[in-house]
A and B are shown apart, each in its own frame.
Chain A
Amino acid sequence: MSEAVLLLLRLRGRQLRAQMVYWGRVLGVFGPEGELASGFQRVYRWYIALFLAGWVVLAWEALLSAAYEAPHLGLPAVLVPLLGHALPLLVLLGQVALAVLALLQSPLQMSAADRAYLAGSPVSRRAWLAVDFARGLLPWLAGSAPAGAALAVLLTGRYAAAWAGTPAALLLVVFAQALAWALGLARLTSARKTGRAALWLLPAAALACGFGLWPGVRRPGEALVRAMVAPPGAGGGAGAALGFLALLAAGALLLLLLVAGAVDARLAAEASAASVEFGDMRALRRLDPGLARRLKRRLALRSARALGRLPGAEGWWALPARVGVGFLRQPGRLLGLLATGAALLAAVGLVVRPEARGAWMAWLLMWLSRPPRSLVDWLEEAAQEPFLRRLVPWSALPLLAGDALLPGLVLAVLGGPVAALLGASAPAAGAVPGAAAAAGGGGLAGALVALLLYWALIALAALTQGVAVLGGEIGGTAARGSADLLFGLLAFGTVLLLGAQAASPLAALLAALAFDGLLAWSWGRPRRAPAEAEGEARAEAEE
C-alpha cells in the first residue's frame, strides 16, 4: 500500500504543480513552457516562492491585527460573546452541509484518466482515496488556519490565542471532512446502499440532535471554542480540547479508511462522471438558462443510474428523507418556512386575542396574496422534472403529513418558547373562553391551544396549496389560480372567522380538521399512475 501511496502522491503532486504553473502563466508570473525550463526561470520560481511566503506572513499578521482591533472599531460589543455561543451550532451546520454535499455529489471526483487507470486497476482503494482525500483537504486547511486564528483572537482579545485556535480549526476541518467523505463513500460501497434511507437521514438527524434532541453532537464545536478561549496556564484546558479534537479527527480518518476499502469503483466512477457533468451545467446555466434546463433534463435521465438512487417514493421514510434533503440543499426554504411559522404564531396570537380583529383581517389578506408554500413548491418543481417526478410521493396522505409535520417539528423546537410566552401573556379567562374552558386557563393552556391551532393552520396551508398544485399540475384537473383562491378563502376564512367571531380556538380547530377531511377525501380520486407520468416525462425529455 505504501508503494501505491507514493506513486499516487507523485502523480497528484505533478498535477498540483502543473496547476500552479498554469495559473502562474495565466497571471503572467511565468513565461511560456520553453522558458520555464531555463536556469533563469528556476531561480525566478524560487524568488516567487519566497515572495509568496513573505506575503503570507504579512497577510497573517494583518488578519490577526484586524481581528484584535475589530471590537474597538465599532463592532457591537454583544456580537463577540454571541458568536462564541453560536459557534458550536454553526460548526454543526457546516458539518451537516459538508455531509449533504458528500451525499449529493460523490466526494471522489475522478477524471477520465482516473477512471481508466485507477478505477480499472488493482491499486488499493484505501491508498487511492487517502491520497485524494488529502488533496481535497489542502484548500480547506489553507482556509481554516487563518480563520481559526482570527476567530480565536476576536473571541479572546489576545494574540496568543491564535496558537491554540489554528490547530483546533485544522483538526476540526480534518474531522468534518473525513466524516463527510466517509458518509459520501458509504453510499458507494454497494448499489443497494446508494439509496439507503439511514445514510440520507443522518445529516438531518444530526441537525435535529444539534437543535435539542442530543446536544452531544455540538461537542466538536464546543471543543473548538474551549481551545480558543481557554486562558493561558488554566490547567491545560486548551490542551484537553485540542486532544479531544485530535481524537475525533483520528477516529474520523479511521472510519474513512474503513469505508474506503469497500468502495465499489464502478459506482464511484458513475457518480463522479455524473456530478462532473452536473457541475459543468452550473456554468452553462449562467450563460443560457433555457439550454441548461433542457440539457439537465436529458442528463438527469441518463444519470439516473448513478445519482438516481436517492430515497424513492416508497416507504415511510420517503417523505421526511426527501424533504430533509431538500431543506439542507436549499436552506432558504427552511428560512422561508420559519418566517411563515412566525407569521402563523402571530396569527394564533390574534385568534387568542379576538379584540384585534382589524389586525387579523390584514393578516388574512396578506396570507391570501402570497400563500405559504414548502413541500408543494418542491413537488411542483419535481413534477416538471422527469427525473424528480419519480420521487414525488404519490399518496396524498404522507404529502400532507409531511408538509404539516416537518415544519411543525422544526417550529415546535424553535417556536415553542415563543408560543409559551404568547400563551403566558394572554388573559387567562374571559377573553379566551374556549381556551380557558378547554385547558382550565393559565399560560400553559394558552400555549397548548396556540400550538394546536398552529398545526391546524399549517395543515390547511398544505392542503390548499397541495390541492392546487397537484390537482393542476399533475392530475390536470383544476385551474390552479382559482383553486388557490377558492380553497384559501374557504378554509382560512372559515377557520379564522370561527376562531375570532365565535371566540373559540377549539371551534376553529374543529373547522380546520373538517376541511382537512373534506380535502383529503376529494384527493382520493384516481389520478394517473406514476409509470404513465414517467413515460410521458421521458417522451418529453427525448423530444
Chain B
Amino acid sequence: MRDLTYAYGDYRAVDGVSFELGAGELVALVGRNGAGKSTLLECLAGWRRPDGGRVRFLGRRLEEDEARFRAGVLLVPDTPPFYDELTAWEHLAFVARLRRRPPGEWQPEAERLLRRFTLWEQRNGYPYAFSRGMRTKLAVAVALVARPRALLLDEPFGPLDPLSAADLWEELSAYAAGGGAAPGSAAPDGAGPGAAVLLSSHRLPAGVEPARMLVLEQGRLLAQGSPDALRETYALGEADPDAILRAALVAARRAQP
C-alpha cells in the first residue's frame, strides 16, 4: 500500500499512509478512536475507493484483477453483518461455497473453529440472536473458513472476554503462520505459505505480542516496527504493547512545533 489517502469531505481520515504486509506476518494497527483505522482497513479490503495512493495485492491492483483481489483479501468489520435467514453453520457453508472450497475440506475446519470459539452448540442458531462477542467470534470463524491470503480484522478483541481473546489470538497466529491455502496444498498464487493478518485495535489484550505494530494518529502513520524495536525507541523497558501507543502519541505531540 503506498500513499493511501481517503477523505470525508474536507477531513482526511487517512493521509498518505504507506506500508507492506508480508505472508506469515501478524501485524497490529493501533490508534485512538477516530485515528482512521477502520477507514484504512476498508480501503485496503476494497470496500472504499481511496482518493489517492495505491493498494496492491500480490503486486496487482483491484482494478487489474478484481476476482483475484476479492478471493485473497477479506475484512471482518467492527460490527459484522449477517443474513437473518441463515444459521451460524449456514453462514460458514455459504462463504465456503462462494469461495469454492470442497465440503471435505471446510467442514472439519469449521467444526474445529466453532468448538474452539464455544459456538458449536449454537451452530444451528441465528446470529441475530447471538451476543456481540459471539457474533464477532462467528465472523472470524467465517473469515478463517474462507482462507484469504490477507485477513483484515477491525477491532476483533473489543467485545471479547479475556479467554476468548486469547483463543482468538492463538487462532490468528496459527493462521498467519500457515493459512491462506488449504492444509497440505501449495498456495494457489505461488506466494509461499502463510497469510498476512492485520488487525486493528485501540487496546491490545494482555499477552498479545504482534510481530509488528503500526501506530496511526489522525490518519497518519506515526511509527511502525516490532514491539521490541518500538519499546527501545521510546525507552519503555518491558512495558506492554499498549504503552507503545501512548508513548508514540506523547512523542508526536512533543515533536510538534
The answer to whether A and B assemble together is yes
Question: Can you name the residue of chain A whose Cβ is closest to the Cβ of B76?
Answer: A116
* Interface contact B81-A122, CB-CB below 8 Å: no
Task: State the CA gap A120–B47 with chains docked (Å).
Answer: 7
Q: Is A384 in the interface zone, CB < 8 Å from B?
A: no
Q: Is B97 in the interface zone, CB < 8 Å from A?
A: yes
Task: State the CA gap A112–B139 with chains docked (Å).
Answer: 14
Q: Is A339 in the interface zone, CB < 8 Å from B?
A: no
Chain A residues with Cβ below 8 Å from B125 are none
Q: Is A115 in the interface zone, CB < 8 Å from B?
A: yes
As a 0/1 sequence over residues 34 to 74 of chain B, the CB contacts with chain A under 8 angstroms (1 = contact) are 00000000000111110000000000000000111011001
Q: Is A48 in the interface zone, CB < 8 Å from B?
A: no
Task: State the CA gap A305–B50 with chains docked (Å).
Answer: 11
Q: Is B19 in the interface zone, CB < 8 Å from A?
A: no
Chain B residues with Cβ below 8 Å from A122 are 66-68, 70-71, 98-99
* Interface contact B47-A121, CB-CB below 8 Å: no
Task: Tell which of B8, B10, B84, B99 touches A121, judged by Cβ atoms closer than 8 Å.
Answer: B99
Q: Is B9 in the interface zone, CB < 8 Å from A?
A: yes
Q: Is B121 in the interface zone, CB < 8 Å from A?
A: no
Known: A115-B47, A117-B98, A120-B47. A18 touches B85 (CB 8 A): yes
Q: Is A4 in the interface zone, CB < 8 Å from B?
A: yes
Question: Can you name the residue of chain B whose Cβ is closest to the Cβ of A301?
Answer: B9
* Interface contact B67-A7, CB-CB below 8 Å: no
Known: A4-B98, A7-B97, A15-B85. A266 touches B70 (CB 8 A): no
* Interface contact A266-B81, CB-CB below 8 Å: no
Q: How far is the CB of A20 from chain B (nearest CB, A)?
A: 12
* Interface contact B84-A18, CB-CB below 8 Å: yes
Q: Is B94 in the interface zone, CB < 8 Å from A?
A: yes
Question: Can you name the residue of chain A whose Cβ is closest to the Cβ of B84?
Answer: A18
Chain A residues with Cβ below 8 Å from B71 are 121-122
Task: Tell which of A15, A18, A113, A304 touches B82, judged by Cβ atoms closer than 8 Å.
Answer: A113
Q: How far is the CB of B62 from chain A (nearest CB, A)?
A: 8
Question: Can you name the residue of chain B whose Cβ is closest to the Cβ of A190?
Answer: B63
* Interface contact A3-B83, CB-CB below 8 Å: no
Chain B residues with Cβ below 8 Å from A112 are 81
Task: State the CA gap A117–B70 with chains docked (Å).
Answer: 10
* Interface contact A113-B46, CB-CB below 8 Å: no
* Interface contact A538-B9, CB-CB below 8 Å: yes
Chain A residues with Cβ below 8 Å from B83 are 11, 15, 111, 113, 117
Chain B residues with Cβ below 8 Å from A191 are 49
Chain A residues with Cβ below 8 Å from B146 are 121
Where chain B touches its partner, the secondary structure class is loop
Task: Tell which of A18, A120, A302 touches B8, judged by Cβ atoms closer than 8 Å.
Answer: A302
The count of chain A contact residues (Cβ–Cβ below 8 Å) is 32
Chain B residues with Cβ below 8 Å from A266 are 46-49
Chain B residues with Cβ below 8 Å from A123 are 70, 98
Task: State the CA gap A264–B61 with chains docked (Å).
Answer: 13
Chain A residues with Cβ below 8 Å from B10 are 538
Task: State the CA gap A121–B96 with chains docked (Å).
Answer: 11
Task: Tell which of B74, B81, B97 touches A115, judged by Cβ atoms closer than 8 Å.
Answer: B81
* Interface contact B100-A3, CB-CB below 8 Å: yes
Count chain B CB atoms within 10 A of each CB in A4, A117, A538 and give the residue with the most: A117
* Interface contact B81-A116, CB-CB below 8 Å: yes
* Interface contact B98-A120, CB-CB below 8 Å: no
Question: Can you name the residue of chain B whose Cβ is closest to the Cβ of A8?
Answer: B98
Task: State the CA gap A209–B47 with chains docked (Å).
Answer: 40
* Interface contact B75-A120, CB-CB below 8 Å: yes
* Interface contact B47-A269, CB-CB below 8 Å: yes
Q: Is A460 in the interface zone, CB < 8 Å from B?
A: no
Q: Is B158 in the interface zone, CB < 8 Å from A?
A: no
Q: How far is the CB of B66 from chain A (nearest CB, A)?
A: 8
Task: State the CA gap A3–B96 with chains docked (Å).
Answer: 12
Task: State the CA gap A265–B70 with chains docked (Å).
Answer: 10
* Interface contact A11-B8, CB-CB below 8 Å: no
Q: Is A96 in the interface zone, CB < 8 Å from B?
A: no
Q: Is A267 in the interface zone, CB < 8 Å from B?
A: yes
Q: How far is the CB of B187 from chain A (nearest CB, A)?
A: 16
Task: State the CA gap A131–B94 with chains docked (Å).
Answer: 16
Q: How far is the CB of B40 from chain A (nearest CB, A)?
A: 15
Known: A111-B81, A538-B10. A11 touches B94 (CB 8 A): yes
Chain B residues with Cβ below 8 Å from A305 are 49
Task: State the CA gap A188–B184 with chains docked (Å).
Answer: 40
Nearest 3 pairs between A and B by C-beta? A112-B81, A122-B71, A122-B70
A11-B85, A116-B77 known; 18 new pairs, CB 8 Å cut-off, are A7-B94, A11-B86, A11-B94, A18-B85, A111-B83, A112-B81, A115-B47, A115-B81, A120-B75, A121-B71, A121-B99, A122-B70, A123-B70, A191-B49, A266-B49, A269-B47, A302-B8, A302-B9
8 A–B contacts from the bound complex (CB under 8 Å): A111-B83, A112-B81, A116-B80, A117-B95, A120-B46, A122-B66, A191-B49, A266-B46
